[in-house]
Structures are given as C-alpha cells and as structure tokens.
A and B are shown apart, each in its own frame.
Chain A
Amino acid sequence: MEGNSDERIIEREFGELALNMGPQHPSTHGVFRLQLYLRGETVTKVTPHIGYLHRGVEKLSETLDYDMLPPVFERDDYLSPTANSLAYVLAVERLAGFEVTRRASYLRVLTAELQRVASHLVAIGTFGLDLGGSMGGGATLFLYCFRDRERILDLMETLTGTRFHTNMNQIGGVRYDVYPGFDSEVLSTVKYLVNQVNEYRSILEGNPIFLERTKDVGIVTQELAKEVGASGPVLRATGIPYDLRKNKPYCSYDEFNFEIPIGTIGDVFDRYLVRIKEISESISIVTQVLEGLPEGSINTRKPLKRATLLKPPKGAEAYAAVESPRGELGFFILSDGTSKPYRIKIRSPSFSNIALIPEIIPGHLVADAVAILGSLDPVFGDVDR
C-alpha cells in the first residue's frame, strides 16, 4: 500500500500508523474514505474524505422540468426514496402555491412511514454487520432485517408497481391510490413486523457482547450535536426531542398520535435504541393512517406530457424540510420563471451527521470506529448528492 508523502512523514515522526479505510471497504456504508492515524489500535486522528459518490444531482436538476425531478431525487438517499421526493414536492408546492388534499397527505405519510421502517431495518441490519462481521452473527441479524424489509417492499410493489423507487409523490398529490384490501395486507405485515422487532430487541438488548460493544462508545454531547447540525436519530439519541414531524408538522402529521423516542447520553447504543423504537412509532402511525384515511381525490393537478405546465413566478423561493429516516432533509428551490428550477440546494441529514466523525472517533479503537460510523447510518448518495 503506497502511502502519500503526508502519511510517510507522520509515520516517521510520530510513530503513528496511517491507515486508509476505504473507499473500497466492507463497512464504510458506500464509497467513503476514512484516513485513520493509529497508535497501536487506538485512533488518534481521523480525516473523512467524501465525494466519491458525487453525481451532480443539484446541477442536473437545473436542466429538468419540475415534474421530471421527483424520480431523480428518489435516487438521492437510496434507502428512503419517498422522503426525498416528498421534501421536493413540498418545496415546489410551497413555491407554486398548491394545495394538497387530505387523502394525498395521508397517503404520503403512509409511504414515508413504511419506508422509514424499511430504512431503519437496513440501518440495524448493517449495524450488525459492522459489529459482528459478515461471517458471523452480524450476518444473521442482517439477513433477518432484510427478510422483514422485503415484506415492506412487497407492499410498495402492490401499491405502486415498483419495489423501491416508488415514484409515489408528485407535485400536487400522489400518483397511486390504495386499492380495496390493501389495508388488510398492511395490517398483517405490521402485525408480523411488531413481533419481529420485539424479537430483535430481546436478542440484542439481552446480549452482553452487543451491550459491551455499544454502550459508552462514541458519545455525542448535546452541544456537539447542535454545533455540527446533526439531526434525526443521531440528535435525538443525545436527548434533544427535535423531530420535524412534531416541531414543524407537515403532511398532516399533527393529526396523528405518536411519541418521539429519545436517548440519554448519545452513545452508539442510544442511537440504536432510538431507531428501533422509531420503528414501533412508525408502525403505529401507519395503522392510524389506514384507520382514518379520508375520502377525496389523490391529486389536485395532473402533470401534462408537455413540459410547460408548471411555471412558478420569477424570483420565488421556497424551503421545505421533512424528517427523513436520517434526519432533517430540506430542499431549497429558487425559480427564474421558467419550467425548470434556477437553483436547488439540498440540505441532507447524512452530510451534517458525518461531520461528527472527526470529533467522536479519536480515542476509540479501530473496531469502535466502524461501530460509530455504522451507528450514524450515513447514506453516501445523500452525503455527496
């Protein structure tokens, strides 16, 4: 492994081992590079390098019409596609002044919460891989979680025809309506998931190795979390009950009854606990949606094939944010009066959350560095965009 001259100097003068973790590494959750400086096995300094998955989505969006963009943004954070398109369509609706029917709002909440469950299952499963490796108990947890996630993807497929990138949200409403019998399918899946989640909790929280590996590791203080702009489960694990679904409700979230799980000290275990409790809360929201699904149309406008329909006024700007499974996902859109946005800026939660890495990893062992990275649950499509 050829180190650059910088590494050589550090190794020669400080006796530290410079180790490149990534961009091809099994537990960096995508293409991400951590430059670790090790003294023995203890990390003394870490420099994260991002940008390996930069796809220029923000620039690309300036060349496409408003109605063409939701599917593009669904590829952004590839573990929770509907959250991305939801934030985008909310911003455009605010920009152009569209009203959305209550039924459409409810359906948006339904898909968003189902995908939150799926995303958290992926987070917990891959966290198992980070802690236990792909050749042991971690792989078992991973496959259990993915097996259950598959049930949700099946639901999505019956609803929208697509397993994953559902293309559910469109400007002015949603694209697909529920069909008769859908709610009974969802309820049976939900019942199954509740059992499974309880089983995983008993497996993991009764396991001394899991507790040893996660408790008091990678502690994020409230001040630090606020300073880097962390959000989502990472922020809530520190004990700050900040959740956009409660604090700045959108999409009729204020009509549902749910808790915001928070942690106590903000270690890796708290972040896991917040995620797995959020699964139960999301399941409860899903059942509430199905119970109280209002009648009405599912969209207020139909996009035309011609790309000249939606032209927000010149100079109009709007920001809308949603609580994606990773935290506050915001879209800022500036219009120049044409059918294409002049500028789109994405405030992605993963990007802010991984800013914690240089602060919390030093002082831990290499194995903990992987566990901490896994507990932040970054998606590099979301970080690099």
Chain B
Amino acid sequence: MIVINGIIQGAILLGAILGIVAYLTWLERKFSARMQSRVGPYLVGRPHGWLQPIADGLKLISKEDITPSKADSLLFNLAPGWVVVVSLLGFAFLPLTANWVLANLDVGLLYFTAIGSLIVIGIFLAGWSSNNKYALLSSVRSAAQIVAYEIPLLFSLLVPAILSGSLNFMDIIKAQNDLWFIAYPVIGQISFIIFLLAALAESNRMPFDLSEAESELIAGFNIEYSGMKFAYFYLGEYAHLLAVSLLVSILFFGGPLGPILPGGLWIGIKTVLVFLSILWIRWSFLRVRIDQLMMLNWKILTPVSLLNLLLAGLWVTLNF
C-alpha cells in the first residue's frame, strides 16, 4: 500500500513539475520580452500566448529525430535522458509545504547536492558523443566549471545546515521559525549570494553559461541535438533551475513559513520570486570568459565561502 501510495504521489509530483517547467519557459519569454521592450509570445492562445509552451512542445515532438552518423549513438541517445532524469530526481526530497514531502530523508541536503552534481555527466556525455569539436570544447568547459563550482556551492549550503544542526529539509525549515537564515547578519547574506552564484554556474545560466556560449560555441554540447532530445536538455535545465529556486527559498527564505497564507502558497511565491531574479540576472549581464570564471571561483568564492563556514561555526559554538 505504501508503495502504491508513493508511486501515485510521485506521479502527481512529476506531472506537476513538468507542467510548471513548461510554463516557466513561457514566464521567461514574457519576462525577457518585457525587459527588452518587446511583447513576447502573444498569438498562440489569447491572451498573451498562454498556449505557447504546448505549441513549442508539439513542435519539438514532431521534429525529425536526428542522430549524426559519426556520433556514438548509444551515448548520444542516453545523454538527454540522463540529464532529465537526474534533474527531476532532485525534487523527491524537497518539501513543498510545511508538512508534506515525498520522501523525508535525514540527509536530504547531501542527497540534493549529490544528484545536482550528476548532471555534468549527462552534459559531458552529450558533448563527447556528438563527435563535434564545438560540442567537445563545450563539454570540457562544462565539466571544469561544474566540478569547480561544486566546492563553494557545498560550503555555502553547509551554512544553513550548521545553523539548523541538521541535513533534513524539514528541520532546516523548522529552525527558521523565528528568523530566516538570510537575515542572519553577514553569514546569511554571504552564503546566499555565493550559493546563488554557484548555482547559476552549476546550472549553466548567464552570466556563466559558458558551456552553451552561442557567440563562440554556437550551442555547445547540444549543437547536434534536435527535436525531442534537444527538448530534454531544455527540460532538464529548467527543472534544475526550478529545483535551485525551490532550494533557495527553503534554505534562506524560510520555505513555507509565512503569515496568513497557506505554506504551499508561500513557498510558491518565494520560488517564483527567486526564479525571476535569476532571470533578471540572466537578461542583464554579459557572459564572463572561462579564465575569469575560474578566477572568480578559486580566488574569491571558495576562500570566502570557507571563511563564511568558519564564521557560521563560531556563531553556533558561541551560541548567539
């Protein structure tokens, strides 16, 4: 019975996430259009092109599925699936209200970072198996970038864990009952900023989207992909982004905590706000260069996040 219940709940969650992710692309298109004084999707489904994501999906499904003759077809076809599955797995342990989570795991935070760092394997496989020089360069960049940014990401994630004394998301939320972790002086803000930057780098978003830097590498690792396999990468990217936004709202903004409105609504509002600020960053900044990206990581983010971790430890030990 528990198994069936779990499967049903998981299916509902999966469907909800896929639907939300589809509409996040619409949100991004409308948001970026507003930033650029355009209108954005408008005609497919009045008002404001609300059918656009579905039309996009149908278009991508109906496209020809191309595998280049010189590509390693097994790995080439495996990579998009890997990226989607791994991105979606991250949601299983994220609480969506104050008392509902699909699987309440004691090491939820650790699990999430572990799953998050598996995405790079899919990207590297895609770039390597495409047998294309642009894709190869992109996948090498991507591997270097994601592996490097794991370190500040993890260090900044440890700060909420230390402050709450647990790796369980439920406990982390409960610990923020009095004060959200973002409001902790210095450590909260530093850890939030570093986490956001590292998460942007890890999910290949602007200004760190070096692996699909279209101005030099055209589309990077997904250059040879078309149709639904391309859509899988897109889906994986947005699902990961949604997971990151959700994680930020849980770890730093108290997740479902908030007055009057129900917890599910609060976490939704916070997640959308975080997502919109990621979009705001994306559509405002230019891309950094690979060496500048690495410098930022090793010379600034890693030492600062390490120091911040120390401060958080002192905070807890001295018991303010």
Task: Collect the chain A residues with CB atoms within 8 Å of residue B287's CB.
Answer: 131-133, 136, 138, 209, 213, 367
| Residue in contact with B286 in the complex, picked from A19, A41, A213, CB distance below 8 Å | A213
Tell me, rounded to whole Å, the shortest Cβ–Cβ distance linking B243 to chain A. 20
B285:A1 contact, CB within 8 angstroms: no
B36 at the interface (CB under 8 A from A): yes
Number of interface residues of A (CB under 8 A): 36
Is A25 in the interface zone, CB < 8 Å from B? Answer: yes
Interface pair B215/A137, CB less than 8 Å apart: no
User: Which partner residue on chain B sits nearest A11 by CB separation?
Assistant: B133
Q: Give the distance to chain A from B232, nearest Cβ to Cβ, in Å.
A: 18
B217 to A, closest residue via Cβ: A366
How large, as a class, is the contact surface on chain B? Answer: 20 to 34
> Digit string of B20-54 for contact with A (CB within 8 Å is 1, else 0)?
00000000000010011110000000000000000
Task: Give Cα distance in the complex from A16 to B33, angstroms.
Answer: 41
Residue among A1, A130, A131, A207 having the largest count of chain B Cβ atoms under 10 Å = A1
A310 to chain B, nearest CB (A): 47
Interface code A1-41, partner B: CB below 8 Å = 1, 0 otherwise? Answer: 10000000000000001010100011100000000001001
B206 to chain A, nearest CB (A): 4
Cβ < 8 Å to A, chain B residues 205-230: 206-207, 209, 212-218
Interface residue B288 (Cβ < 8 Å from any Cβ of A): yes
What's the nearest-Cβ distance from chain B to residue A190, in Å? 20
With A136-B207, A366-B216 already in contact, the answer to whether A131 and B286 are too (CB < 8 A) is yes
Across the two chains, which residue of chain A brings its CB closest to B214? Answer: A133
CB of B76 to closest CB in A, whole Å: 15
A117 to B114, CA, bound (A): 52
Distance (Å) between the CB of A126 and the closest chain B CB?
10
- Contact partners of B285 in chain A: CB under 8 A: 132, 136-137, 207, 209
Within B36-85, the residues touching A (CB, 8 Å) are: 36-38
A205 to nearest B CB, angstroms?
A: 13
**Residues of chain A at the chain B interface (Cβ within 8 Å):** 1, 17, 19, 21, 25-27, 38, 41, 128-140, 143-144, 147, 207, 209-210, 212-213, 365-370
The 10 closest A-B pairs by CB, nearest first: A132-B286, A136-B206, A143-B36, A27-B215, A137-B285, A131-B286, A133-B215, A370-B216, A367-B289, A366-B216
